[in-house]
Amino acid sequence: MIWPSDSIHLRRAAQQLSKGELLGVPTETVYGLAADAQNGEAVAKIYETKGRPHFNPLIVHVETIEAARQLAKVNEQAERLAAAFWPGPLTFVLPLLDTAPLASLVTAGLPTVALRSPAHEVSRALLRAFGRPFVAPSANRSGRISPTTADHVHEEFGGQLPVLDGGPCEIGLESTIIGLVGPAPVLLRLGSITSGEIEDVLGFPLSAPDNKVCAPGMMSSHYAPQNHLRLQADDVQGEEVLLGFGGTKGATLDLSPSGDLREAAVHLFAYLRELDKYNRPIAVASVPKTGLGLAINDRLTRAAAPRH
């Protein structure tokens, strides 16, 4: 079921969460699969529904920084970054408070918690209607392409659960994750906010993302289509369909004919899904490795990685 995001359905959506049921929710990055963060059984349903092999920690979505302070030790760097980027596509990993009312499955037993305040009006309205935080990993089957429309979520789960329709996601890539638990901030996942933007606020350079970090968004095979993906393609080989960038000749779809990285991010997951329907190998033209292009290349590399 796809629900319009009117006040009746927002109330129904909040009730769905209160009952311990799951719900597809739009955010500005990708659609999430939401559950009550206090309800362990509801959180367990997320793992079951996504087919996630491990109990990996989830992102808790909060309306405000005050709500974040109830859950985690929000340090000075987090305060500054939140003032600059919240609500928005930036997630903090922070020390968990003993008093935080969260199911332990949310953090997979870790002493830290990931928090983000989404900017999308519908997710914010749901946070207000529900009155407490919800967890929301991307609403795709484990390892598969993240959803950027309500239809994608519907296709992914065969209509088993309601999805609030908030239109196509404005950004199309998951949030940037920054770890603020050690002596220095660490970039844990590349995302739509670039390290340069974060460094401008912090006033010092970030350490590079550490590929050894064990987080599902950092698993080598992730975001994968069903069909084989070949990167840095400048032509079509055999049966391939071609995902272009910046006006690639012969492209079946072009991420951004004008070479705009923001537009390319918005289209990335939707176009991979679209091309996957041809049931042919997919070739992808190269995308510049600068700014937002770093996060786009990160997702493409994982989508092309050998499967487990």
**Binding residues for Mg ion (CB under 5 A):** 138
Contact with ligand TXA (CB under 6 A) among 165, 174, 254, 276: 174
Half-sphere exposure of 296 (CA within 13 A, CB side): 30
Residue 162 interacting entry, from ligand TXA, Mg ion, none, C-beta within 5 to 8 Å by type? none
Q: How many residues bind ligand TXA (CB under 6 A)?
A: 30
Work out the number of other CB atoms within 10 angstroms of the CB of residue 258.
Answer: 9
Taking CB under 6 A as the criterion, the residue among 5, 39, 91, 148 binding ligand TXA is 91
Question: Which distant-in-sequence residues (6+ apart) come within 8 Å of 182 by Cβ?
Answer: none
Is the CB of 152 or the CB of 189 nearer to ligand TXA? 189
112 contacts which partner out of Mg ion, ligand TXA, none, CB within 5 to 8 A by kind?
Answer: ligand TXA
Pick from 102, 161, 89: nearest CA to 135: 102
Q: Does 93 bind ligand TXA (CB under 6 A)?
A: yes
DSSP state for residue 87 in the 8-state scheme: S
User: Per-residue DSSP letters for 262-298?
Assistant: HHHHHHHHHHHHHHHTT-S-EEE----SSTHHHHHHH
Nearer to Mg ion among residue 49 and residue 138 (C-beta): 138
Q: Are strands 163-165 and 134-135 parallel, antiparallel or unpaired?
A: unpaired
Does position 56 bind ligand TXA by CB under 6 A? yes
List the helix and strand counts (H, then E) for the chain: 9, 14
Site for ligand TXA in 117-136 (CB under 6 A): 118, 136
61 phi, psi to nearest 5 deg: -100, 125
Token pair, residue 183, equals: 């002596």
CB of 235 vs ligand TXA, minimal distance in Å: 33
Stretch that binds ligand TXA, among 216-224, 239-247, 250-258, 261-269 (CB under 6 A): 216-224
Residue 107 binding result from Mg ion, ligand TXA, none, given CB thresholds of 5 to 8 Å by partner type: ligand TXA
Q: What is the DSSP letter of 145?
A: P
Contact between 39 and ligand TXA per CB under 6 A: no
- Partner in contact with 74, chosen from Mg ion, ligand TXA, none, beta carbon below 5 to 8 Å by kind: none
Contact in structure between 28 and 170 (CB atoms under 8 Å): yes
CB within 8 Å of 41: residues ≥ 6 apart:
20
If binding is defined by CB under 6 A, does position 175 make contact with ligand TXA?
yes
* Interface pick for ligand TXA out of 22, 23, 30, 300 (rule CB under 6 A): 30
Among 216, 225, 244, 246, binds ligand TXA (CB under 6 A): 216
Judged by CB under 6 A, which stretch of 109-117, 223-231, 263-271, 289-297 contacts ligand TXA?
109-117
CB of 3 to ligand TXA, least distance (A): 17
Q: Does residue 31 contact residue 150 with C-beta atoms inside 8 Å?
A: yes
Within 10 angstroms of residue 244's Cβ, the number of other Cβ atoms is 23
Whole-number Å distance between alpha carbons of 262 and 253: 16
Q: Given the rule CB under 6 A, which residues bind ligand TXA?
A: 27, 29-30, 32, 56-59, 89, 91, 93, 107, 110, 112-114, 116, 118, 136-138, 174-175, 177, 188-189, 215-218
